[in-house]
Structure 1
Amino acid sequence: MKRKGLWLLLVAFLSVAVLAACGSEGNEEDTNSDSSGENAAEQESSQEEGNGEEAASDETYVIGATQIVEHPSLDAAYEGFQAAIKDAGLNVEYKFENAQDDQNNAITIANNFVADGVDLIFANSTPSAQSVLQATSDIPILFTSVTNAVDAGLVESNEQPGGNITGVIDLHPEAITNTIEFIENNFEGSTVGVIYDAGEANSVAQIEAVKEAIDGTSLSLAEATVGNSSEVQQAATSLVGEADVIYIVTDNTVVSALETVVGVAEEQDIPLIVGEPDSVARGGFAAYGFLYYDIGYRTGEMAVEILTGEKTPADFPVENPPNLDFYLNKSAAEAQGVEWDAAWEEEAELVEPAE
């Protein structure tokens, strides 16, 4: 009897415990069902907002950057371009290609960028821009280090470029006229020797502007043309005995081998006038120019607005360099037999020779 009673008591206790547990579990499930629905909605909403912010901040753009050759001016333009985009906070992956002063390479680079489906192409030089424009009419193109975008066939007009391309040119409207005026005032009656790549459209345009500026002055012109950088030294040597002053415009082929011209100028005591301050630092005596970093930076600002969808290339007129300054290298002047005029220092920025 005692064992049977104990057994019945144990069964009764277990039954009550099971019922209590079931009731508690049911109540907990109901409670979680109500709150979890709200929490899930809140979590989902919060996650969507977080994902939206993350998508906006983490979006990465791909830019193809093509450059006809590497030299300090073009390199500075590319640095400025990248700096503007970095300052805007955009995440960008760059595909940089140097054509090694070969137009065929420039064409191949352009076609590769199109095949890769990059978001924007930065064309740093006239040949690079021409190659890219031939390769695509869909991908946005921004150029700089281009002298005359209209004559190069890049845009219909500077004011209304149309199409998928625009940028910042590398010739200030007064640069060549100021340079010729400086030569006329200080080297009156001189023959000005120029060296340029006849196959580079921007160089041909500048030489035509030089001829116009010289017309009516006491100066005359002597020309030497090259097809690649290996011919530059020979071209410079050919001007010895004919040119009293050498003037190198912003020709990529010649500027990439500028040191060979500097060597001839110093050996023969011929003043060397150049087209931009980077070349002054490399041994040119004087230049009316601007910083290529600045025109690259402005082009980068354009890129930001295009990549973010605020504007298209057609919305930007082709721009000129923002300023024009006079640069002198006193050490180069001495090495080239130039009699220094202290009055020059009143308007010029003195440039230290590059190390």
Structure 2
Amino acid sequence: MTTNITRRDALSLFGGAAAFAALGGLAACSGASGEKKYKIGVLQLTEHDALDAANAGLVQALDDSGISYTIDQQNAQNDQSACQTIAQKLVNDGDDLILAIATPAAQAVAGATTEIPIVGTAITDFAASGLVTSNDAPGGNVTGTSDLTPVAEQFDLLMQLLPNAKTVGVLYCTAESNSDVQVQMAEAAAKERNLTVTRYSVSNSNEIQQVVESMVGKVDACYAPTDNTIAAGMATVSMVANENKLPVICGEKGMVDNGGLATYGIDYNKLGYKAGEMAVKILKGESKPADMPIETLDASECTLTTNEETAKAVGIDLSVIQ
């Protein structure tokens, strides 16, 4: 898993000029003499594969653009109060632009400033989360890229793997507004496929094991959308689910890599890269957040990911996937 480190942390850990040189690609990009050096702050909600990949994509886009910048990487470790504190810090620092990774991070930053441009990524629905007036015309200082997943296609995948399934438990965290959107989409997709859905919610990561255990024997499969709390706790989810032969269809690749059965989902590195490209346009004065529609990845960019070890554990034949 990627460990985020700020330029300031690096200098204190490794000492002066040596650390600056070692971390040049992450902390600062060199530019032509006299070129403006942009000050960028990053607030990532928590550490898990999808958000880490989005972060890496953001930084890569900044590097590829050739702009000169310094970057302050901050991670809230899935703590809402920490999000508020970090957001205020980045605003007080006078950053030229703030990159927010995940919905709660973006909400915290948007609540702290209406002036500094904010580019978000790994956010399911900007409008539904109150971040923009509309996804087509944001109208304020926030824009970015949405990680709205192909929920219908993920349920098609579930039906291919479990053609006799009748009941599905949807696992999510009630503290995340992005999950509400996906749960509703899951319920609609299930209804179209004559599946009965039961909601299984947690309010924090400490409840995951007990809630997954409560599914056993009551549902034929579990669906876990791109919920940050669940994604960060997939080791716990898969431990319980796989031991009890409960297949888990996931919202994104990282969750499958950490023990889920399968997904048909987006590439978070590409999603972050696209957000980084938007940030560069804003910094260069070529565009304003208010006029930049929320962008998504095309369905053709979604990929199938399966976990063979998990398939063996839960007794599922992956060869049936078409």
Structure-2-length-normalised TM-score: 0.86
The answer to whether the 8 A contact 2:261-2:307 is kept is: yes
SS in 1 for 2:154: helix
The answer to whether the 8 A contact 1:119-1:307 is kept is: yes
Q: CA deviation at 1:298?
A: 0.5
The answer to whether the 8 A contact 1:101-1:228 is kept is: no
What is the aligned partner in structure 1 of residue 58 from structure 2? Answer: 81
Is 1:274 the counterpart of 2:250 in the alignment? yes
SS in 2 for 1:273: strand
State the alpha-carbon separation in 2 of the partners of residues 137 and 315 from structure 1: 15
Q: Which has the larger radius of gyration?
A: 1
Q: Which runs of 4+ in 1 moved over 4 A?
A: none
Q: CA deviation at 1:199?
A: 1.7
What is the aligned partner in structure 1 of residue 26 from structure 2? Answer: none
What is the aligned partner in structure 1 of residue 166 from structure 2? Answer: 190
Q: Which runs of 5+ in 1 are unaligned?
A: 1-51, 348-355
Q: How does 1:1-355 map to 2 (within 5 A)?
A: 54-56=33-35, 59-172=36-149, 175-187=150-162, 188-322=164-298, 323-338=301-316, 340-344=317-321
Identity over aligned pairs, percent: 40
Q: CA deviation at 1:216?
A: 3.7
What is the aligned partner in structure 2 of residue 47 from structure 1? Answer: none
State the alpha-carbon separation in 2 of the partners of residues 216 and 298 from structure 1: 33
State the alpha-carbon separation in 2 of the partners of residues 151 and 315 from structure 1: 18
State the alpha-carbon separation in 2 of the partners of residues 295 and 138 from structure 1: 24
Q: CA deviation at 1:159?
A: 1.0
State the alpha-carbon separation in 2 of the partners of residues 276 and 217 from structure 1: 21
State the alpha-carbon separation in 1 of the partners of residues 258 and 232 from structure 2: 11
Q: CA deviation at 1:343?
A: 4.2
Instruction: Kindly indicate whether structure 1 or structure 2 has the higher relative contact order, using CA contacts under 8 Å at least 6 residues apart.
Output: 2
The answer to whether the 8 A contact 2:311-2:318 is kept is: no
In angstroms, what is the RMSD of aligned CA positions? 1.5
Q: In structure 1, what residue type is equivalent to 2:310?
A: A
The number of equivalent residue pairs is: 289
Q: In structure 2, what residue type is equivalent to 1:176?
A: V
The answer to whether the 8 A contact 1:270-1:337 is kept is: no
State the alpha-carbon separation in 1 of the partners of residues 157 and 282 from structure 2: 40
State the alpha-carbon separation in 2 of the partners of residues 329 and 310 from structure 1: 43
State the alpha-carbon separation in 2 of the partners of residues 341 and 246 from structure 1: 17
The answer to whether the 8 A contact 2:45-2:78 is kept is: yes
Q: CA deviation at 1:189?
A: 3.6
What is the aligned partner in structure 2 of residue 29 from structure 1? Answer: none
State the alpha-carbon separation in 1 of the partners of residues 271 and 161 from structure 2: 30
In structure 2, do the counterparts of structure 1 residues 269 and 137 end up closer, same or farther at CA, with 3 Å as the change threshold?
same
State the alpha-carbon separation in 2 of the partners of residues 197 and 297 from structure 1: 27
What is the aligned partner in structure 2 of residue 46 from structure 1? Answer: none
State the alpha-carbon separation in 2 of the partners of residues 250 and 222 from structure 1: 17
The answer to whether the 8 A contact 2:169-2:197 is kept is: yes
Q: Which runs of 5+ in 2 are unaligned?
A: 1-30
Q: In structure 2, what residue type is equivalent to 1:242?
A: K
The answer to whether the 8 A contact 1:272-1:336 is kept is: no
The answer to whether the 8 A contact 1:197-1:203 is kept is: yes
Deviation by residue 1:44-97 (Cα, 9 ceiling, x = unmatched): xxxxxxxx96212xx321111001111111011000000010011122211111
Q: CA deviation at 1:305?
A: 1.1
What is the aligned partner in structure 1 of residue 23 from structure 2? Answer: none
SS in 1 for 2:237: helix
Structure-1-length-normalised TM-score: 0.78
Greater fraction helix? 1
